[in-house]
Structure 1
């Protein structure tokens, strides 16, 4: 198994970005990162969708990536978010991640523009040629309006040695098989959906890039580790425990519910940046009930 395959055979946490009245709450962020590493998380993903990258300034994004690298100290793989709907901005972000010492970058498809597959290839070609960092593609059509075709992923991986895998968040287990058929067994596949982590691993994904693990890192690690050691009964039991929590943490747009859950536990403020809004009162009651059931499992 390659070094990257070993690194990605586990849970990566899509880190939230805590805020306070002064901006980014770096002390709360530091505590979150340390708690993740202590729980056995294999990778940390700062400045992604869950980290509200769209509303971070370039300076804030760079500071969060550099801070994650410093805190990780080689104890976890740092896969920094470097996506944009403008290719030149994505290149600048990837170079900033490289300068900060990240181990790799996660590059989401351009949002709003809705490029063709040819446009996606041009976008990723330019980024791959601009950085030496390993690049994980990120396909999430529900947010971006465009999906990376398996053939496009295969073409990119063939041309660029630093494009090594994809975070798949299209909601269909068939995509994993389609990507494996197009890209081959060495192309790394990660589930981008907590509720589908186990089904995706059953057909070839190595792990999950998780939102739930911000709140329940030990449980997510236990689920994936059980699968990899062949204890499928334990993995299924953990999936059943986590499934309702995962659904509750997406009752509104990510990361609103997970930040509220962390706030209820006293880890940070639940603040989100506009245009996101605080969790609706009715949904808060549903979330609290799900958290209580999870805690009493």
Structure 2
């Protein structure tokens, strides 16, 4: 079995900051990357779902990937989102990302057309054959409408040496056991911040986080506490961040995380249509969660 330790730890599913006029805010993006690196984040995920990949042009997506590689290559694992609901487009985007120097590509299940499991095997196989980079499968049925069956993940891992990991974002920790049984060669990443501790306990090696855009230190601290065997501290951290992490999906992501980041002056709140900025009721709830989170965080004795 190959060494998959490169997936151990926390990856950040990077937002794409926008200016008020709708352009990519490169200064905010650089500051975001630098904060992640300073906090000890293991991996960076540009142009994933959280990066609003579906509404970036191909040129913008390539620019974001190239910028991330230039700023962080060798300092963090670079995992670019290149998946779509078109196999041809996914292959093309994957080849471009590979040429730009990414370490791996994150491939969401094709959305809207909802392929069968055989269709998923055909799709992911075609992409895996088109790249020398690591291939990370991404199962998120709440957005894509179809999940990757554990047996399908196992088949893909057996057929393709570069299919090495899966991001599991279906909200069910039991899937970790199913995946580890059916696809023992795959690294499993949790795709839901609020479930990270449960996933770690069941054998997941890492987390791909939305909340770490805002607070990478606490997400790394949770992983490190678990990894060091400090179950009490891991549980304390989990309980401190669970509510605010879950609130990142109070409305469609990444609008909530962009809102709380704006409260710290880290970026603006702008998202690309058809997404909308969080509503006033959601802002009020997020503000309350933030007050509670700050109080709980202070009690954790961070340096």
Shorter-chain TM range is: over 0.9
Aligned residue in 2 for 1:37: 37
- Equivalent residue number for residue 296 of structure 1: 295
Aligned residue in 1 for 2:104: 104
Matched, 1:16 2:10: no
**Aligned-pair CA distance for 1:174:** 1.0
SS in 2 for 1:296: helix
Per-residue deviation at 1:22? Answer: 5.2
Matched residue pairs, number?
295
Q: Would the aligned equivalents of 2:45 and 2:81 in 1 still touch at CA under 8 Å?
A: yes
Query: Which residues of 2 match residues 1-297 of structure 1 at below 5 A?
Result: 3=3, 5-20=4-19, 21=21, 23-184=23-184, 186-297=185-296
Q: Which runs of 5+ in 1 are unaligned?
A: none
Q: For 1:171-228, what per-residue CA distance to the aligned partner results, in whole angstroms no more than 9, with x for missing partners?
A: 11111000111011x3100000001110011011001000010011000000001111
The secondary structure found in structure 2 opposite 1:105 is strand
Say if 2:139 and 2:148, in contact at 8 Å, map to a contact too: yes
Deviation, 1:276, is 0.4
Deviation sequence 1:95-116 (CA, Å, 0-9, x none): 1111111110100000000000
Cα deviation for residue 271 of structure 1 reads 0.1
Normalised to the residue count of structure 2, the TM-score between the two structures is 0.96
Query: Once the two structures are superposed, what CA deviation does each residue of 1:222-272 show, in whole Å capped at 9, x if it has no partner?
Result: 000111111111111100001011122111111010001111111111100
Secondary structure of 2:218's counterpart equals helix
Question: What CA deviation, in whole Å up to 9, does each residue of 1:139-179 have, x standing for no partner?
Answer: 00010010100110000000000000100011111110001
Q: CA deviation at 1:73?
A: 3.2
Deviations 1:53-95 (A, max 9, x none): 0000001000101111111131100000011000000001111
Structure 1 runs (4+) greater than 6 angstroms displaced: none
Q: For 2:220 and 2:159, how far apart are their aligned partners in 1?
A: 33
The answer for unaligned runs of 5 or more in structure 2 is 297-303
How does the TM-score come out when normalised to structure 1? 0.97
Q: Report the aligned-residue RMSD.
A: 1.0
Structure-1 separation of matches of 2:2 and 2:293? 36
